[in-house]
Amino acid sequence: MDGQIDTIIEVLLSLRVNALQISPELRQNLVAELIKNDIFLIKQKKSNIFLLELIKIESVSLKHAICALISVVACTMGGVDYLTEFGNQIVK
């Protein structure tokens, strides 16, 4: 399981780094693509459960990576709508 968590962390941090390296105008397009591809499976599962379960995993590095990517997604109104579509548990 630790290997899987390390892989998830690597992917999440890579997405965040890529988002921060591009211009703000293009970052909006990246966020739109992340939402379109349902990065946190919110639309597919019709709930926030997948993301909330990831956050519950006992790994500080994973929590850091998830929060970092959430902050990138939340930098647009569409991202905020995506993250809060099924309640504000993610924000809490």
Tens of pLDDT, residues 13-54? 998 888 889 988 888 999 999 999 999 999 999 999 999 999
CA 35-81-71 angle, 5° bins: 70
How much is the pLDDT for 32?
Answer: 94
pLDDT exceeds 70 at position 70 = yes
Q: What is the mean pLDDT of the chain?
A: 91
Enter the pTM of the model: 0.86
End-to-end CA distance of the chain: 27
- Which two structure tokens, joined as six digits, stand for 7? 């892989």
How much is the pLDDT for 31?
Answer: 92
Name residue 13's amino acid.
L
Q: How far apart are CA 3 and CA 34, in angstroms?
A: 24
